[in-house]
Amino acid sequence: MPSISIAATDGAGSFAAFLAEPKDKPAGAVVLIQEIFGVNASMRETAQQIAELGFFVLVPDLFWRIEPGVDITDKSQAEWQKAFALMNAFDFAKGIADLKATLAAARALPGANGRAGTMGYCLGGRLAFMMAEQSDADINISYYGVGLDSLIGELDRIRSPLVVHIADKDEYFPAEGRAKLLAAVQGNAHIAPYVYPNADHAFARVGGIHWHARSAWIANGRSAEALADALG
């Protein structure tokens, strides 16, 4: 599969990032942030779909420091156990550093227009929210990020658009936490939160067990419009 190598900023080595390219250039770029299943078939297909919208897409292997090349699904208990073990071992600070390196690489791709944002799911949804607070990304989009209410202390650092897609039956983001987040972002001109009725965690995962077509289509349409506005 097409990929590029990105050097880690802490000198620990380099990591791979799946690359999907748009037909027309110059174009903006999206750093697509994985779930706990690695850069798997679902993430690669999502990357291709975003490229068809007219953007470069880089999907960095964020588990490379633990186990490079993780590519599993949500279809078996053994895979779920491995996915949770990887998430529990994941270093968020180093992950953010790797995402910043990927963002810089995305802006420098041949044919890129210099504008770049992030979009992430689950673990990636939390990381996209963190990138809104800690990076200069031109836009950030979070799908069913976990534990987002623990990040509201730094909302004043957000300077670019942040789109937050929230499932109202998300077992990994309880109602109390969702309510706390929604109250905290109310009136913030940079943040657009959307709640999807009857949708569970991972409602937009391509081929996933919790796929919810109505919510996914509406959320993806909002994301596409936000990306076009921010990235060109």
pLDDT in tens, 114-168: 999 999 999 999 999 999 999 999 999 999 999 999 999 999 999 999 999 999 9
Comparing CA positions, the residue from 193, 211, 200, 146 lying closest to residue 170 is 200
The predicted structure's pLDDT at residue 206: 83
Marked catalytic residue, from 74, 98, 201, 212:
201
84-87: long-range contacts at Cβ-Cβ below 8 A with a sequence spacing of 24 or more?
A: 84/36, 86/36, 86/38, 87/36, 87/123
The residue segments making up the domain with residue 153 are 3-231
The predicted structure's pLDDT at residue 1: 58
Number of compact structural domains in the chain: 1
201 is catalytic: yes
Mean pLDDT value across the chain:
97
pLDDT in tens, 25-80: 999 999 999 999 999 999 999 999 999 999 999 999 999 999 999 999 989 999 99
The predicted structure's pLDDT at residue 21: 98
Q: How confident is the model at residue 179 (pLDDT cuts 50, 70, 90)?
A: very high
Q: How far apart are CA 89 and CA 97, in angstroms?
A: 16
pLDDT at 189 over 70: yes
pLDDT in tens, 202-227: 999 988 889 999 999 999 999 999 99
What value does the CA radius of gyration of the chain take, rounded to a whole number of Å? 16
pLDDT at 193 over 90: yes
pLDDT in tens, 66-85: 999 999 998 999 999 999 99
Marked catalytic residue, from 170, 200, 210, 212:
170
| Percent residues over pLDDT 90 in the chain | 97
Q: How far apart are CA 185 and CA 78, in angstroms?
A: 37
E strands of the chain, at which residues? 3-7, 14-20, 27-33, 56-60, 112-121, 140-143, 162-167, 191-196
Comparing CA positions, the residue from 134, 192, 204 lying closest to residue 162 is 192
CATH at residue 46? 3.40.50.1820
Strands 3-7 and 14-20: antiparallel
The predicted structure's pLDDT at residue 23: 97
pTM of the model: 0.97
Q: How many helices (H) and strands (E) does the chain have?
A: 6, 8
